[in-house]
Amino acid sequence: AQSVTQLDSQVPVFEEAPVELRCNYSSSVSVYLFWYVQYPNQGLQLLLKYLSGSTLVKGINGFEAEFNKSQTSFHLRKPSVHISDTAEYFCAAPSGAGGTSYGKLTFGQGTILTVHP
Amino acid sequence: DADVTQTPRNRITKTGKRIMLECSQTKGHDRMYWYRQDPGLGLRLIYYSFDVKDINKGEISDGYSVSRQAQAKFSLSLESAIPNQTALYFCATSDGKGAWYNEQFFGPGTRLTVL
């Protein structure tokens, strides 16, 4: 089964600065990874996903993530953040191994990104 | 209208009371999930259902039960609420046809406080 660890519980940044939210995974089988975002008082929505192919994945709202197999990481980045990016971000991976995961996800602990003016 | 709705959005109750949280979806998905969110712990799976006749325990099912009344409805019950069940609860759905890693779609959440 895969597990994910988000290395920072809170990340404060100023508007227009770059940001990186870190996620490490552990898996001995095929890797599938996701980033979800939760805006204040809302449910989660998919930001981007890595299934296979290119290790650089582009998502919504200018975010991207890079899958790094050697470092078992899937860090989320944005070159210039806006106030509206203030939210909690979750890294996630299927709970089981490959096709036997039955669509279940394991979530990281979450990283609260706060963008200051 | 929202594709995944949850009722109520907020609920305050007392220890020992029975509580039901309801989830409805108009996405036509066969898979439905209940999660709880606690600060610093992320989301943890309580129960999941892949169709009306299939219900499975997640990682933290103790103290909870569920009912899948129809493909579109999935309810979570706390038979006798206790304070450590105070949390934000999310319902989610996904399309089980095709790839097993299909995106999950979340409701807006129910904030439950048990006094």
Among the partner residues A90, A94, A108, nearest to B101 by beta-carbon distance:
A94
CA B33 – CA B49 distance, rounded (Å): 6
Q: For A67-101, write each residue's pLDDT tens digit.
A: 998 899 999 999 999 999 999 999 998 876 544 45
* Interface of chain A toward chain B, CB-CB under 8 angstroms: 6, 9, 32, 34, 41-46, 49, 51, 90, 94-95, 99, 101-105, 107-110
pLDDT of residue A13 exceeding 60, the answer is yes
CB B47 within 8 A of CB B64: yes
- Of the CA atoms within 13 Å of residue A75, those in its CB half-sphere come to 12
| Chain B positions in Cβ-Cβ contact with residue A95 (cut-off 8 Å) | 45
Residues 6+ apart with CB under 8 A from B39: none
Q: In this structure, what token pair is assigned to residue B85?
A: 């069940």
Q: What are phi and psi of B72, to 5 degrees?
A: -95, -5
Cβ of A94 within 8 Å of Cβ of B104? The answer is no
Asked if residue B105 lies in contact with residue B2, where contact means CB atoms within 8 angstroms, the answer is no
Cβ contact A110:A15 at 8 Å: no
pLDDT in tens, B43-89: 999 999 988 999 999 989 999 999 999 999 999 999 999 999 999 99
B101·A108 Cβ contact <8 A: no
- Could you give the CA distance from residue B50 to residue A31 in angstroms, rounded to a whole number? 23
Going by their DSSP bridges, the two strands A44-50 and A33-38 should be labelled as antiparallel
Q: What is the pLDDT of residue B100?
A: 59
Give the one of A32, A41, A90 whose C-beta lies nearest to B43's C-beta: A90
pLDDT value at position A2? 67
* CA–CA separation, A27 and B113 (whole Å): 36
Which residue type sits at B15?
Answer: T
Span of A11-15, A100-104, B4-8, B86-90 with lowest mean pLDDT: A100-104
Give residue-wise pLDDT tens across range A19-71.
Answer: 999 999 986 556 789 999 999 989 999 999 998 888 899 999 999 999 998 89
